[in-house]
Amino acid sequence: MTASSPAPEDIRPFRVAVPDAEIDDLTARLARTRWPDPETVADWSQGVRVESARSLVSYWEREYDWRRFESELNAVPQFLTAIDGLDVHFLHVRSRNPDALPLLMTHGWPSSIADFLRLVGPLTDPAAHGGEVADSFDVVIPSLPGFGFSGKPTAAGWDVTRIAGAWAELMRRLGYTSWTAHGGDWGAAVTTALGAMQPEGLLGIHLSTPYAFPEQIPDTLTPDERRAVDGLALYAGPLGGSNHVQGTKPQTVGFALADSPAGQAAWIYEKFQSKTDNHGLAEDALGVDTMLDAISLSWFTNSAASSARIYWENRSATMAGPKLTLPVAVTVFPRDIPRLPRSWIEAAYSNLVHLGDAERGGHFAALEQPEILVDELRAGLRGLRVQRRTG
């Protein structure tokens, strides 16, 4: 990975360039994988099935093309800038429409900037993708601290509030005086923190993961509210193994994931299996190359431990986020876990400007249903364009 020498408040061009020796090392490690004994159940309740992991790792070793993905990344303008003592890596694409609405997009875990690559064209050049010129966005897509090509914190303290402050500074540094923000998963937590902070210029936000649970769960629940409570129990319980480990001992698991690409693959693969809108396999919702793009990015940047620490930094966080008063747009995806009801979303966001119910999709909305998310971003943030022109 290459970049020029830093200077205060400099924004430096960046390109991805993984050395051939690192790709050869990955291939050799994959060929030497020592496999665990098979699971003792016929489902995924004990975790990734050995047969499925073998198939994924075999494809990674023999067929996957990192250089293809590297070229896709390098086709989008990338930059580094130092904020609060840490290099922040980000994609930045300006629309040819001078009235484009700036949009800051934040990914979650185990996601990355790669989640949003298929959204860049439709958002910045909607007329070329079946949309209207009036719905143009400038897009800014940073890598979270400790993720991908961003710097890795060397001291504690990078919680979502601090990240939100860094993102506000990034938008200021790019010269945007009015802008919007979107996020899902941890990206939604950062975006929610931005909404609570209301930095200068932030017009409103869009969330695909609303942090809108009530502080106290009511004794009497509607069916939709009961489904949300049950979904949270599933998320925190049977599906929460990696979350618990990363929230308590991220460094310990980091040793294994930094040393074993097969282990890194299984760690991320299980999340795609359990949280996508699939029919029994992650591959029903996501292409194998798409999953391996995310896995390879984590491997080549050796960011398993540093990205896991976002759980440790925010270990006291809950799904009951702050009440927000700025304009908020929300899209609910049917197979998200937990899936929140309209009643709680309306209670949390007093200025709810849009609430969309997607027909398809799970927790990884940008990867699973990029077209739907693009349409929802256009619809949900459209009213803020008028506010930007008249405000």
CB 265 within 8 A of CB 56: yes
Alpha-helix runs per DSSP H in the chain = 20-31, 50-62, 66-74, 117-124, 160-173, 186-197, 223-236, 241-248, 250-259, 261-275, 288-300, 304-313, 342-348, 365-368, 370-390
Looking at residue 385, its pLDDT comes to 87
Q: What single DSSP character describes residue 295?
A: H
389 pLDDT higher than 90: no
The catalytic residue positions are 185, 311, 363
Q: Categorize the per-residue pLDDT at 6 as very low, low, confident or very high, splitting at 50, 70 and 90.
A: very low
At 324-376, the pLDDT tens digits run: 999 999 999 999 999 999 999 999 999 999 999 999 999 999 999 999 999 99
Q: What single DSSP character describes residue 116?
A: G
Q: Categorize the per-residue pLDDT at 386 as very low, low, confident or very high, splitting at 50, 70 and 90.
A: confident
CB count, 10 Å around CB of 4? Answer: 10
Looking at residue 391, its pLDDT comes to 60
At 65-99, the pLDDT tens digits run: 999 999 999 999 999 999 999 999 999 999 999 99
C-alpha span between 255 and 118 (Å, rounded)? 32
Q: Is 45 helix (H, G, I), strand (E, B) or coil?
A: coil
Residue with tokens 């299984």: 266
Please enumerate in sequence order all residues whose Cβ is within 8 A of that of 209, keeping only pairs 6 or more positions apart, or say none. 108, 183, 184, 185, 187, 188, 189, 336, 363
42 pLDDT higher than 90: yes
Q: What percent of the chain has pLDDT over 70?
A: 97
Looking at residue 305, its pLDDT comes to 98
Which domains does the chain show, CATH number per domain?
Answer: 9-390 (3.40.50.1820)
5 pLDDT higher than 70: no
Amino acid identity at 82:
A
C-alpha span between 372 and 279 (Å, rounded)? 19
C-alpha span between 40 and 33 (Å, rounded)? 21
Say how many Å lie between the first and final Cα of the chain, rounded. 42
Cα-based angle 299, 301, 306 (whole degrees, multiple of 5): 95
Q: What single DSSP character describes residue 174?
A: T
Structure tokens at 182: 């979107």
